[in-house]
Amino acid sequence: MDLVFRHKSGGELWQGDIHDVHSLAINHGNKIRTIALFAIEFQPDIRSSHYEVLKHGFQDSDTMNDAEAQQTMRIADLASDKLASRVRSGRGVLSTCAVGLNRSGLCSALTVMKLSDHGPLSAIALVRAARGHQALSNPLFVDMIHAMAGVKGKHETWTQWRPRSGPDEVGFRLLSGTNL
């Protein structure tokens, strides 16, 4: 479990994996009050008055069709709104998925952008600084972070966006050709 962002309210955004969830379920942490579960295959029933548990599972895939990607963006956007609200109120939040790299990274980066002036590159860098260079290795999630920065609240327009071709280009372009 690693600290990704500390808000001026005193709230903190942490990111981790299933082992961190198991550990917290047994040994209550003093800092964490909300646990967000993003691994669709890992949605344990945590019964503890110590934690609020948010369940928002989705797949970690870079080959989603448009409908799946749209749904993932909707879930990540709404979940990161909830996480940002809790961090703003001074709470400690743990964003988790199976390995603590991609799904939790997507939601953590979106949360950081909603809590601060950090843009996509900076938010991604914070997640990777906390969790290592393998964090956000799913290029589709990185693209989603860039798209959501420019079109907050427009996740339903996913089908209008396509990743740029070429392995060195990051971001999205409108079908009309306007670059973000």
Domains of the chain: 2-174 (3.90.190.10)
3-state secondary structure of 54: strand
Closest CA to 108 of 96, 121, 92, 91: 96
- Give the model's pLDDT for residue 156: 42
Measured from the Cβ of residue 169, the count of other Cβ atoms closer than 10 Å reads 11
- Give the model's pLDDT for residue 165: 38
Q: What are the distances in angstroms from CA 99 to CA 1, 11, 37, 87, 148?
A: 11, 23, 11, 22, 23
What are the average pLDDT values for consecutive 10-residue runs of the chain, which has 180 residues?
Answer: 96 95 78 92 80 91 91 93 96 95 97 94 97 96 89 44 36 30
Output phi, psi for 145, to 5 deg: -60, -45
110 near 119, Cβ under 8 Å? no
User: Residue 78 has what DSSP assignment?
Assistant: H
- Give the model's pLDDT for residue 129: 98
- Give the model's pLDDT for residue 151: 57
17: tokens are 């994996």
- Paired strand residues for 69: none
